[in-house]
Amino acid sequence: MNGKVIVITGASSGIGAALAELVSGRGARVALLARREKELRAVAERCGPEALPLVADVISREEIEGTLATTLARFGHVDVWVNNAGRGITRLVSELTDDDFDEMMLVNAKAALYGMQAVLPHFKERRSGHIVNISSMLGRVPITLARSAYSAAKHALNSLTANLRMELRENYPGIYVTSVHPGVVATEFGAHALHGGPDSRHILGGQTAEEVAKVIAEVIEKPRADVYTRPGAQQMVVAYYAADDMGLIEQLPPFVAARPPR
């Protein structure tokens, strides 16, 4: 990790902040992107004097491109770009509005696309680099129905990630593209969800942001295509898609817990 330049979006709290502190402690130099300046600068201070806090909104292509230019001016290059910023929602499919759906796609999928497209020319020029997209178990399996549009956006992000990885494989084998799939994480995520909802910090069984950050740091050091942050998660996904009838699987835990109240 020593000397790597790592850009992390959504770095003012939660997984992004935990990752920034972890990798900077291992010798990486970090550029930290988020909208909340006070919180972002506090994280940067904990990461050391070389940390670069950049106040930016990931849903703006221009701001993302500007932060990349500033990062290159400071550090000379980028080794890893982590698309971590995202937002949840609390609405069933039957309740979604156009604005709900557009917001989820913009923040959780399109913003990551902006990051990928911004840094890709730099990586191609160097013929090396690593894009890490923080997805979700909800991008694989429908276990929280009220997060419907968030789930859809993460499915879209997974597809973009896999397609980019395959696009680059032949001509740019030194550029890695990874999806990371956390489950429930004890952060402010739930409290900030569109239309409110349960606070993720109070959901039993949630991982800490630090636990998830360790998995992301491991995949930065030893790149892999697709990573789950907790034991058993990948096996659950495999069982769901291998079933002759997914509808039968959806009648069993943990899927039954996702049903709305009658």
Please say whether the beta carbons of 229 and 207 come within 8 A: yes
Task: Name the amino acid, one letter, at 13.
Answer: S
Residues in the chain: 262
164, 188, 217: which is closest to 86 by C-alpha? Answer: 188
Please give the DSSP secondary-structure letter assigned to residue 139. Answer: G
Task: Name the amino acid, one letter, at 247.
Answer: G
DSSP string, 190-250: GGGSBT----GGGSTTPBPHHHHHHHHHHHHHS--SEEESSTTHHHHHHHHHH-S-HHHHT
Pairing of strands 175-181, 129-134: parallel
Q: Which helix (H) or strand (E) holds 64?
A: helix 61-75
At a CB cut-off of 8 Å and minimum separation 6, what does 202 contact? none
Q: Which helix (H) or strand (E) holds 154?
A: helix 148-169
Query: What radius of gyration do the chain's Cα atoms show?
Result: 18
Q: Give yes or no: 150 in active site.
A: yes
| Range 139-173 burial, b when 16+ CB lie within 10 A, else e | bbbbbbbbbbbbbbbbbbbbebbeebbeebeeebe
- From the candidates 150, 172, 176, 228, give the one annotated as an active-site residue: 150
Q: Kindly list the catalytic residues.
A: 150
